[in-house]
Structure 1
Amino acid sequence: MTSTARNRFNPSQPGAAGMKAAATGLLVVMAVVFVAARAFEPGYPQLGWVKAFAEAAMVGGLADWFAVTALFRHPLGLPIPHTAIIPRNKDRIGEALASFLKENFLIASVVARRMRHIDLAGAAGRFLRAPEGEGTRIRHGASRLIADIFEGLDDERLGGIIKSAISSRLKTMDVSPVLGHALASAINEDRHVPMLEAAIRWSARVLDSNESLIREMVRKRTSWILKLAGIDTKLADSIMDGLRKLTVEMSTDPAHPVRQKIEEALAQLANDLQTKPETRERVEALKDELLANRSISLWLDTLWQKGREAIIRAARNPDTAMAGKLGDVLKSMGTTLEGDPRIRGAINQFARRAVAGLAASYGSSIVKLVSETVRGWDARTITARLESAVGRDLQYIRINGTLVGGLVGVILYGLDRL
């Protein structure tokens, strides 16, 4: 709520207090005018009209003062029946407010009907595509809130919770079929080819960097007779040349027999991961060993720290984050949301179902919370809160009552004269 709105509705602010003083002052002025007009009326008969106006204005002002005061307290502290209405009926008011919320906002069918014509996806698309103006203020406010939350939370405790959640999820998750399906999909779409070629190039680099080691192994395993004839060197040369030729042919020929064998082995592994119990058991055992390894725990800690720092940096400077690749991705998403009616309709339908589901699941709890909260307020609290909401307008009622009462008095005086 803006400061202007707070000044308007809070009676403790100068605006509301000024209106209360104005209403009371107007009533006092009418009383003074009535006394003066009554005193000078014998010498100036025309003052009868003024006296009639002031007299009726006093009656109207006092009546409205009594009515406004009776809503919140006993007028002049006197226990007059049917006064202090709100404090005496606060429990019933809380139940009525809760029922109003439930019947108009927290019933699944009502929520779904109200959201039927709300285009949440379109609004999100417009915001993502061009988040300027009001959207910028919203984004900056949300960003500051996110950054403050991540900086304010206990880093060690939150990191431990996240790490424990990830580990628990991985422990209960059967990763073997997932890996098998992912590998099978990669093979079917030839997405494994770059990885296979990278492995072949890596093998060629390993071969070159370990040439002296390979030659030494050949020399040690060659008999002394062959060494005398120099055959060990020729044998090492032949082995190195053959291995180099193999890596070159495998990298350039997709139909190379060895390469085909590797692809067949990968396909068989993908099938075994999904269907073969012993393969799945070995993968699960390996997964458990990895999760129990301290290095994995340290890696998860590092991953959390880097992720947390990245979130805080992006939240502290949302314009920079939106200007990079992330911004391009979000703008592309916004354009897609605005331009594709099918996606927009699906998202809106999901949002309606989600909100309606929340209303169905938690509507009664929200209603109960509202009712119990109001019931728990003391009379002074609920009086102050309701007065803060309508205090300024109630003073307008007193002023209007004074002026309207005066006009009615003049009309009645005129009719009586006629």
Structure 2
Amino acid sequence: MRRTATGLLVAMAGLFVLTGQYLGLHPAVGYVRAFAEAAMVGGLADWFAVTALFRHPLGIPIPHTAIIPENKDRIADTMATFLQDNFLTPAVVARRMQDMNLAKAVGEYLAAPGQGDTGAKLRSGAGDLIAEFLETLDPERLGTQVRGGLKSLAARVDVAPLAGQLLTAAIADRRHLPLIDSAIRWAGLTIEANETLIRDMIHEKANGLVRWTGLDEKLANSVLDGLYKLLAEVLVDPNHPLRGKLEEGLAQLAHNLMHDPETRARVEKAKNDLLDNPVVGRWWLSVWERLRGGLMKSAREPGGGLSAVFGETLADLGKTLAADDRLQWQINRFARRTAVGVATRYGGQIVRLISETVRRWDARTLTDRMEGAVGRDLQFIRINGTVVGGLVGVTIHALDAVF
């Protein structure tokens, strides 16, 4: 646009020179010359005015030129004051947001079945964001921090009384019976899995005469049969004395966990030893790494995993927002109060940030940015000035010829 405006001005200058050679040829030539002459004056005047905004015309430091770079700091302060007075005052923000149903608009957008590509982009973008966030985390450092937090939390919890209360409640509700049955079955399976070891132990403990007569094998069979029979009787008979002893032992354990300092100290020591065990730390790191890897894979899975869940959640949230007037009112009130609060607390800082940013720009940067934003329209002013100046010149020439 600058080249167009300048070319038009040069054309008017050429036309002025050309028509000066043929003034006596025809009266109309005078009108053309008057048009060209006035157009040059108008074009030059507007060129000077437009150029003076951004720089010194022809590099000559004429007073009141290069207005923008010379008044950069004042412009920055004026812009900041304008924004604060007209946009960032609590009254203006509250009035603007009073007529906005922000919650309903967001809800209708999220719930719209035809949002198509936009919804897919939201889901994909959210999934990628989650995956990238998880990928940037240091697994060992984060795992260690979480383990440290869990350890600190567990260290403050007195486990023994809690376990004693749980066991007492389980015994009172007869919920300990499946535990006893499981223990009996486990004992039977353990004996069955180690029959050879038991037989070898009995054989080694028997004297030579017993082994020579073969009674050690019969003794081993008798011991094993007796153990199996005992466990079977305890398992099927709810009133078996051994089962009663087991229940008494559990009740005593529950009492000791709650009231015996020595038992509580042993439990506490076992808890701390477990927390301090490096194997537990390595186990936690492996668990965290598997969890992190699974979440990353699920987040990046197109059309499924976390993306699908996120999309469904957004759609459900949108339907709820679009249909629930009370929820809309609450969210809109929260948004309005938040915006007013931001304007009240941080309005000055926001405009100061704008002012300081503009102040830090060098004069050339500010000039280039403003000229890039409005320079095209300013070049139209030059073109209009050239054309309008020419028309005014023709009019004046006509009036001079008539009167």
Q: Note whether the superposition's TM-score is higher than 0.5.
A: yes
**Structure 2: any 5+ residue segments left out of the alignment?**
162-172, 203-218, 239-246, 259-264
Structure 1 residues 18-417: aligned runs within 5 Å: 19-116=1-98, 117-120=100-103, 122-123=105-106, 126-127=109-110, 130=113, 131-137=115-121, 153=136, 155=137, 158-159=138-139, 162-163=142-143, 166=146, 206=186, 209-210=189-190, 212=192, 233=225, 236-237=228-229, 239-243=231-235, 293-295=277-279, 297-298=281-282, 301-302=285-286, 305-306=289-290, 309=293, 312-313=296-297, 316=300, 319-321=303-305, 324-416=308-400, 417=402
Alignment root-mean-square deviation, CA: 4.9
Aligned length: 355
Shift of residue 339 of structure 1?
A: 2.5
Shift of residue 85 of structure 1?
A: 0.5
Aligned partner of 2:106: which letter?
A
Counterpart CA distance in 2 for 1:231 and 1:322 is 59
Q: Which residue in 1 is equivalent to 2:261?
A: none
Shift of residue 43 of structure 1?
A: 1.4
Shift of residue 129 of structure 1?
A: 5.5
Counterpart CA distance in 1 for 2:268 and 2:107 is 42
- State which drifts further: 39-48 or 67-76: 39-48
Shift of residue 390 of structure 1?
A: 1.5
Does the CA-based 8 Å contact 2:103-2:332 persist in structure 1?
yes
Structure 2 length as normaliser, TM-score? Answer: 0.66
- State which drifts further: 59-68 or 353-362: 353-362
Change (3 A) 1:359 1:235: same
Q: Deviations over 1:214-246 (max 9, x none)?
A: 9999xx9xxxxxx99x79957853543543676
Aligned partner of 2:353: which letter?
L
Change (3 A) 1:350 1:386: same
Does the CA-based 8 Å contact 2:103-2:322 persist in structure 1?
no
Counterpart CA distance in 1 for 2:132 and 2:339 is 27
Shift of residue 68 of structure 1?
A: 0.8
Structure 1 length as normaliser, TM-score? Answer: 0.64
Shift of residue 347 of structure 1?
A: 3.0
Change (3 A) 1:321 1:129: farther
Counterpart CA distance in 2 for 1:312 and 1:49 is 79
**Structure 1: any 5+ residue segments left out of the alignment?**
1-18, 181-192, 221-226, 247-257, 273-280
- State which drifts further: 402-411 or 136-145: 136-145
Change (3 A) 1:347 1:39: same
Q: Which residue in 2 is equivalent to 1:254?
A: none
Q: Deviations over 1:347-366 (max 9, x none)?
A: 33333333443333433322
Counterpart CA distance in 1 for 2:97 and 2:274 is 48
Does the CA-based 8 Å contact 2:88-2:343 persist in structure 1?
yes
- State which drifts further: 64-73 or 322-331: 322-331
**1:46 is paired with a residue of what secondary structure?**
helix
Shift of residue 165 of structure 1?
A: 6.0
Shift of residue 285 of structure 1?
A: 9.4
Counterpart CA distance in 2 for 1:329 and 1:197 is 43
Identity %: 44
Counterpart CA distance in 1 for 2:91 and 2:226 is 86
Counterpart CA distance in 2 for 1:105 and 1:118 is 19
Shift of residue 410 of structure 1?
A: 2.9
Which structure's CA Rg is the greater one?
Answer: 2
Counterpart CA distance in 1 for 2:182 and 2:68 is 82
Change (3 A) 1:85 1:110: same
Shift of residue 90 of structure 1?
A: 0.6
Change (3 A) 1:234 1:135: closer
Q: Which residue in 1 is equivalent to 2:215?
A: none
Q: Deviations over 1:257-308 (max 9, x none)?
A: x9xx99xx9xxx9xx9xxxxxxxx9999998777655455445544654565
